[in-house]
Structure formats: C-alpha cells, structure tokens
Amino acid sequence: MPLDPRKHADWEIAEEAEKHMKTVYQLAEEMGLEKEELLPHGHYVAKVDYKSVLERLKDRPDGKYIDVTAITPTPLGEGKSTTTIGLLQGMGKRGKNVMAAIRQPSGGPTMNIKGSAAGGGLSQCIPLTPFSLGLTGDINAIMNAHNLAMVALTARMQHEFNYTDEQLAKRNLKRLNIDPRNVQMGWIIDFCAQALRKIIIGIGGKMDGFMMESRFDIAVSSEVMAILSVANDLKDFRERIGKIVVAYDKQGNPVTTEDLEVAGAMTAWMVDALNPNLMQSIEGQPVLVHAGPFANIAIGQSSIIADRVGLKLADYHITESGFGADIGFEKFWNLKCRFSGLKPHAAVIVATIRALKCHGGAPVPVPGRPIPKEYYEENVEWVEKGCANLVHHINTVRKAGINPVVCINAFHTDTQDEINTVKRIAEEAGARVAVSEHWLKGGEGALELADAVIDACEEGNDFRFLYEIDLPQTQRIERIAKEVYGADGVEYTPQALQKLKAIEGDPELSKLGTCMVKTHLSLSDNPNLKGVPKGWKLFVRDVLVFKGAGFVVPVAGDIKLMPGTSSDPAYRRIDVDVETGKVKGLF
C-alpha cells in the first residue's frame, strides 16, 4: 500500500514507491521500444534514441496531444507537474496507452523554495533523487556548452587587446573588434545566486583576461536550453547553435558562436542531451523528462523531440508548459507549436481553491512561512471573485481554438460550495471541469479528470495562432499584452524601442518568434497585482535576441534572469543517510 500523503513527505512516499519500480527494460518493452532504442543509465533511468524511434515509426499516426497549463499561481505553485502525472495515471487506469513529457527541474528551485517539480503525493515521477539532482547530465551539458561560448568570447577579447593584427594572423585569427559594452551573453550556473547577477571579470594582469562587466543567469534561461526545447534533430540543433549572438562588434554587427569558431564544440557537449530521459510515474506509466522550467524567463516547455517521441509511441501524449496560461501556454501556442507543426487537441488549466482565494482578496502566501489561516476556512466570496483570473485563462486557451479542461486540483480543506462555485463559473465560460484528487489518491483520484480530457480530445477544434509571423514585433508584443495579459497597451524604455526598431528593419530578425519575459505571479508585469488587473500598461525595459532559438525576447517589468535564494531554502533540510547513501528531504 502506498504511504498516505497527509502523513508523509513526498521523498518518503517516493522512497517507498521506488521499492516496487519497473526497470527501464520493462518500461521499454511495454512502450514498444526496440532494444537498441533504449540507452540505460542504471536500472531505473534511461535515455531514448529519439532518432531511431522517429525513423522507425514515421508512418504511424500521432496520438492525441494534450497540454497542461494553469491559472496565475501563488508563489507556492498550482501543481501542474503533479496534475500532469495524475492525469497520466488516471488515463492509465482507464486503460489508455498514454505517455507524458515533463521538464527537468533546475537546481535553483530544488535547493531553494519550490522543490524539484517531480509532482507530489501519490502523483510523482520517480526515482526522485536522480530526477532532482542532475538526472543524466543534460543541464550540466548546457552549462558547459553555454559557458564555453563565453570562454571563447573572453579569450578572443583578451588576444585582440594584447596582439596586433599581424600577431593575430600568425595565430590564424582575424580581429572581430568586439565591443565590450555590447556583450549579450553572460555566464550560467544552475543555482539561484543573486550575488552573481552583476560581476566584474578579468581583474588582474593582461594575461588574466579582458576586464569588463559581466553576469551570471540561471542555467535554464540559457539560449542553449531554449534550442534544446525547440530543435527537431541534431542537424537543426547544430545550425541553431551556430546562430547564437554572443556579442556585437563596434559597428553594431552581431558576433556569433560560428564567428568565434566554438559552435561545433558546443554541439559536441550536447549530442547525448538531445535524447529524452525515460522515467516513470509512481504507478508505472512512462514519463519522458526533457528540457527545462522557468517559462517566466525562458520558453519553459518540455521539448519538441520528447513530444514527437511520445506522440508516436502512445495514443495520448501529455506535455507540460510552465506557470500560467498567459506565459507557458502562450509560448506553447505561438512558439512551440509553430516550430513543431503539432496541433494540440486539448489543454488542461490547473486551478486550486487556494490560488482563487488569493486572487479574490485573501492574504498572499509567503514561501517559507505558514499558510495564512484564511486558506483553511470557507470563503465562497473570495473564490467567486478570484474566478475572474480563471475565466481570463479559459478565454486565452479558447482564442487558440483548443478545448479547455479546468482541473480543480483538490485539497482536503476545499468545501463543496467553493468547488461548485468554480464549476459553475468555468462551465459558463465554455470549459469542461473536473475535480481531481490525484495528490491524495493517485490515478484513482484522477478518473474524472481523465474522462473529461478524453472527451475534449474527441471534440474537434480550430487551432490558430495569435499572430502571423510577418506581423511586426511591436504589434505582436501589443497583441500579446492586450489579448493575453489584459493590458491597455505597451510602454518601452528608449533602449528597448531602439532595439525593436532595428530588429524590425532586419528581414531575418523580424521573422523570429516572440518569447516574452514577465513575472508569473500576475497577469501584469507587477507581481503584486492579483486577479485580472485593469488600467495598466506592459512596461518593456529591454529586448534580447535569441537568433539560434529563433526568438526575440522582450523583457517586461523588474524580473531577473537570475533568481535569488531565500532565507529558508530547501537545502537546509536535505541530507544523506550515511549508512545507505539515500538522499532524504527532497520535495
């Protein structure tokens, strides 16, 4: 019998479930993988040779495609990964051939506040420890590939500063004339390290590098991670890596990884990382883990490669988008689906009574502190008022022509009147609604949700993008701001507007996708504004170019590409049993 989630921590539940795990060999056989398509990393984790699978099954029709998103979450999250695993388990209980793809967790939130994103309760991805602590090394490969580009850049700047043109020519180098005040990339690390947001490098003598300002961002915000998310194969990946703009020269021309002759070596670090990772739910269904989180500062999607594999191997494939539908789903809709050519059949919008109360006027929960007592008491008025945020997200999904299913991610403190209120409002807004107790009961608790999603997949839809790719970037940003966020318009810093005008004047850059960076804690760019804010304008303070990934990246509000570690981080409670070597305290 599984442990009771009300009495045991997630790591304890996972540890108990891991005693009864299937081996990856059993999983592979059940999935229909050929022996050579499984690349084991021990007995319970493997990589899947995506190229072989897609070639062998190229004539097999794709399964039904389902995206999991959410309302605007509280700082504690809405349980999208938990719901993704719960839905997988529920559909499995209904006898469906189903797979899921979730994102690999970042070490930042794992060691900070949010946890490892393996799910929770009886709906988790296992084994928990490798999932949470580096898995098969994909993020490490991303860090090495990204930082190698910075090594190439800074070494080149040092040599160009110290040597004449003739001396450079003897070393088979040409002067790139890099502008140290116009370096786009920084370094990356997979922790929340606010002390590294702004640094000075190259301090010392002339052999110690070129001295200039630099920075660290969190690893999953890297353009290399974005490319892993959207690449279709190794050839596509290599071409995209070579287009990464690392800096600009003194005439304003881009300096790419190809110019620095480092793109090939960067790709060499990433060859194995292109293969999705294979794990399983507590109930033994296959889970592909690939690409990374943080849809607020990155694309935040499980990879196109993982989705293609899942759609070929299963009749239903569930994928996951980060944070609320204004961020993760919008990028799934207008970026990922555009790049992949895949059309989803349904989208699940996860909502909790807790978050609806927050949007309706309850005190905002603070991570690391006890949840305010108001969340344990019935308040239908707060829930009803907070449902405006839910309806906003339902309307966003419907604009894509996709069938929305609202999942009420149930807590034991939810009352029937509160649940009935959400059901009524969501159904009036045109969504199917299901109450799911997957956290407490696993697949058995997700049967209502599974049935609703299966029904939604059978209903036809009219998938369409929010904008055509030939629409100018400024008009796209305004459309996203007005139609997805609910803003009255957009304001820009002079620097951001100047960059956008230059982008719109470039025939190649103007056709790139638009990948917004914005807080996940509000529909607006102000994390303190809950519900559906009115009378505001989106403030775009900077614009980045991810030419390799195929994005223009407008940065809105005060959001940072390097989060900070809190005063009560998770690492304080993580330890190792020195007798068994088992990790305890992960969540």
Q: Residue 535: what pLDDT?
A: 97
Which residues fall within 8 angstroms of residue 490, CB to CB, at 6 or more apart? 474, 477, 478, 481, 537, 538, 539, 540
Q: For the chain, which residues score pLDDT lower than 70?
A: none
Structure tokens at 394: 């339902």
- Name the segment(s) of the chain with CATH classification 3.30.1510.10: 138-267
Distance CA 395, CA 429 (A): 8
Structure tokens at 486: 């609910």
| pTM for the whole structure | 0.95
pLDDT digits (tens, 9 = 90+) for 189-227: 999 999 999 999 999 988 899 899 999 999 999 999 999
pLDDT digits (tens, 9 = 90+) for 225-250: 999 999 999 999 999 999 999 999 99
CATH 1.10.260.40 fits 10-133+273-458, yes or no: no
Catalytic residues: 80, 82, 103, 114, 295, 323, 411, 439
- Name the segment(s) of the chain with CATH classification 3.10.410.10: 473-556
Query: In sequence order, what E strands does 157-302 have?
Result: 178-183, 187-189, 199-201, 212-214, 216-218, 245-249, 254-256, 277-281, 286-289
Q: How far is CA 277 from CA 57, 533, 585, in A?
A: 19, 40, 23
Q: Residue 437: what pLDDT?
A: 97
Q: How far is CA 513 from CA 96, 307, 385, 492, in A?
A: 35, 20, 35, 19
3: region left, alpha or beta (phi > 0 left; psi from -120 to 50 alpha): beta
Asked whether the beta carbons of 1 and 17 are under 8 A apart, the reply is no
Structure tokens at 399: 């604009």
Q: Which residues pair with 286 in a beta bridge?
A: 280
Q: If one looks up domain 138-267 in CATH, what number appears?
A: 3.30.1510.10
List the one residue out of 426, 434, 354 whose CA is nearest residue 388: 426
The string over 116-139, giving b where at least 16 C-beta atoms fall within 10 Å of a residue's C-beta and e elsewhere, is bbbbbbbbbbbbbbbbbebbbebb
Radius of gyration of the chain (CA): 24
Q: Which residues pair with 100 in a beta bridge?
A: 287, 318
pLDDT digits (tens, 9 = 90+) for 87-123: 999 999 999 999 999 999 999 989 998 777 889 999 9
Q: How far is CA 238 from CA 242, 255, 263, 268, in A?
A: 6, 17, 7, 9
- Name the segment(s) of the chain with CATH classification 3.40.50.300: 10-133+273-458
Q: In CATH, what class is 473-556?
A: alpha beta
Q: Residue 367: what pLDDT?
A: 73
Distance CA 102, CA 88 (A): 11
Q: Name the packing angle between helices 263-270 and 223-230 (round to 10°).
A: 60
Which residues fall within 8 angstroms of residue 205, CB to CB, at 6 or more apart? none
SS3 128: helix
Asked whether the beta carbons of 209 and 202 are under 8 A apart, the reply is yes
